[in-house]
Amino acid sequence: MSGHNKWSKIKRDKAVADSKKSQAFSKLSRVIMVAAREGGGDPDANPALRLAIDKAKAASMPKDNIQRAVNKGLGIGMEGKLEDVVYEGYGPYGVAFLVSTLTDNKNRTVSELRNIFSRHNGSLGESGSTAYIFSPDPENPNFSISLDSDQKDKVVALYDELDEHDDVTAVYSNYSTA
């Protein structure tokens, strides 16, 4: 009766659930850090922090993790400071990307983002290469590129992988579906 061990099934299911929870906690921690850094560490005086903490509690994030994220955002107990860095690049079919990150190591982050872009037939651009497309409002680019469904799948795969990266806080692109 090999392969019929109940613990084996539980272990696999638990690993999947833990992985999803870890990703969610990482994203929530980043949001909390950004809110604490921009508006202070008091949730009563900082509505963005209050909202981020409420989302974290709704996701069952432990209080210790929440407090640690607030402290990191304030720079308490850290050797390196977190920095906001914006990267620009082009994906498949000439679609422009603007990637906002919060990182403690710019060299590591740029290397990982360059690797993600190259895996998806894109390239990381120089500073200012796509910024003109997304200014003044990154959510509403100045122009967009129409893609059919086959092309859209490749661009969405790049978008999703960038969005899942731990250091990335926001991803903007200028594609639209035809």
Q: CB atoms < 10 A from the CB of 96, how many?
A: 25
CA distances from 169 to 32, 101, 165 (A): 11, 5, 9
- The reply to whether CATH 3.40.50.300 applies to domain 83-177 is no
Percent of the residues in the chain that have a pLDDT greater than 70, as a whole number: 94
Architecture of domain 6-74: Orthogonal Bundle (1.10)
Mean local confidence (pLDDT), 78-104: 85
Reported as a pLDDT band with limits 50, 70 and 90, residue 3 is low
Mean local confidence (pLDDT), 76-96: 82
CA 114/CA 3 separation, integer angstroms: 41
Domain with CATH 3.30.70.980 in the chain: 83-177
Reported as a pLDDT band with limits 50, 70 and 90, residue 50 is very high
State how beta strands 145-147 and 96-103 pair: unpaired
Dihedral angle computed from the Cα positions of residues 8, 9, 15 and 17, in that order, rounded to the nearest 10 degrees: -160
Reported as a pLDDT band with limits 50, 70 and 90, residue 135 is confident
Question: Which tops the pLDDT comparison, 105 or 178?
Answer: 105
CA 41/CA 46 separation, integer angstroms: 7
The reported pTM is: 0.66
Domain with CATH 1.10.10.200 in the chain: 6-74
